[in-house]
Amino acid sequence: MPSSAPPVAGLGARAARGGAVTMAGQLLRMGVQVLSVVILARLLDPHDYGLLAMVVAVIGVGEILRDFGLSSAAVQARELSRGQRTNLFWINTALGALLALVVLACAPLLAELYDEPQVAPIARVLAVTFLLNGMITQYRADLVRRMRFSALATCDVAAPATALGVGVGLALAGQGYWALVAQQVTQGVVLLVLLVAYARWAPGLPDRTAPVGALLRFGRNLAATQVLGYVANNVDSFLIGRRFGAADLGLYNRGYHLLAMTLNQLRTPTSTVAIPVLSRLSDDTDRFAHYVRRGQLTLGYTLVVGVGLVVGAAEPVVRVALGEQWLAAAPVLQFLAVAGAMQTLAYVGYWVYLARGLTAELFRYTTVTAVLKIVCVVVGSTFGITGVAAGIAVAATLEWPLSIWWLSRRTPLPARALLLGALRILAVASVAGAAGYAATLAVPGAPVGQLALAVLGLGVTYALGFAVPPVRRDLRAVLAVARTALARRSAR
């Protein structure tokens, strides 16, 4: 029996409702993450975070190999039989088990690489997360495919919340970096249990009659792209760990998590909604283009404008969220905020590649941008951790227009509309950044007051936007998406 996928009719309403549920879940998850950052940053030191980041920067590539692009392959497939789903489950689980064994064997080599003996035991314990996540993969993909966004949101909030409780308890008990390790493992265990409970299916024995060749080819290209992207995205942590040590890496890592990881948690769920919707509209060029434009506006006038505020008010953000001892992370946060804004503008291109099955083309594009990013980071590293963050910002700024141009040559993408829309979004984000910076000057020495005034300035920025006709049309389009989502949600 094939895994059911929602019909094309009513996709707009389903997408809006799914987006609302997913975003609400991610806001709650982000709240948990903020609590984690605020609480644990005051209980642990940069060296503790640096040790965990050293391990994650290297073994994290295994997570991509463990998935092998098969979660996205399952989501975008027109039809997926029970036998195919079962086969994909066992493939992901086997990959997870294999990678866990590899990490166990290579743990001493990681410790030698960084000249930090504590890295080895951390890597050995984190190896179990490969097996857990391998088992999780197809359960999550099944819920996404069936657009069961409420169940996904529940799992994605409950798991990190439980893990945070474990991490805080161990940190209070004086366990140092082991609190962070236990937090990672606990989240994987809880997430697996919840996803299995919601999905309500159990894999049988592998089915040789169920073909998975096309799914593996899709996944192979996507996995190659993701590995390349991962290397480019983590060369910063690797270089800092090797050149400057665990303490500096801990400072950089907190700046990164405060902005980039939070931003990713808000962007990534949009793919959960957008990819299955766009996959079913691949034959309708006009509606496809409409959804892509609306997606960019929705991301831009929420996330990009908000990130603009962070650029201007980075110091009070760090003081309030992490504490005075982490103030050196403020310039890192500013540059990473610029990078995050540019990456968000280009994010809709990722949806298009996956929805249209263009994973081979995505790999070629990622090869070019990975080289660009690595060069910028290596050059920036000569100026310390702030230089590394600046290199990432420069690379992201160059990649944004390149992504639109590259994709428009291969798909009927509304390139001009996307570029003009992005310029309007950046203009509004710049005003928000100026408001954030003005707030830091208006209330010196009072970080909470600075942030409160900066948020007020953000509200004024949106109000001014309504006075500009093109921006007003954009904001009304975003509000229309929000109203549709809320109306559908309340009608359930």
Segment 117-150, tens digit of pLDDT: 888 999 999 988 888 888 888 888 888 777 777 8
Of 70-84, 340-354, 462-476, the poorest mean pLDDT is in 70-84
What is the mean pLDDT of the segment spanning 295-315?
91
Checking if the pLDDT of 349 tops 80, the result is: yes
Checking if the pLDDT of 472 tops 90, the result is: yes
Checking if the pLDDT of 244 tops 90, the result is: no
Pull the structure tokens for residue 159: 């798991």
Of 6-20, 56-70, 88-102, the poorest mean pLDDT is in 6-20
Could you tell me how many residues make up the chain? Answer: 492
Pull the structure tokens for residue 232: 């480019």
What is the mean pLDDT of the segment spanning 47-51?
84
Q: Would you say the pTM of this structure is higher than 0.75?
A: no
Q: What is the CA radius of gyration of the chain?
A: 22
Confidence of residue 43 (pLDDT cuts 50, 70, 90): confident
20 burial (CB, 10 Å; 0-12 / 13-18 / 19+) is buried
Residue type, 199: A
Q: Of 11-25, 87-101, 305-319, where does the model show the most confidence?
A: 305-319
Tell me the domain boundaries of the chain: 11-491
What is the mean pLDDT of the segment spanning 366-389?
90
pLDDT of residue 149: 75
Confidence of residue 9 (pLDDT cuts 50, 70, 90): very low
pLDDT of residue 62: 62
C-alpha to C-alpha distance for 428 and 471, rounded to whole angstroms = 8
Checking if the pLDDT of 483 tops 60, the result is: yes
Of 289-293, 302-306, 468-472, the poorest mean pLDDT is in 289-293
366-370: list long-range contacts, CB under 8 Å, 24+ apart. 366/225, 366/228, 366/229, 366/232, 367/228, 368/402, 369/232, 369/395, 369/399, 369/402, 369/403, 370/228, 370/229, 370/231, 370/232
Confidence of residue 178 (pLDDT cuts 50, 70, 90): very high
Checking if the pLDDT of 55 tops 70, the result is: yes
Checking if the pLDDT of 449 tops 90, the result is: yes
pLDDT of residue 64: 62
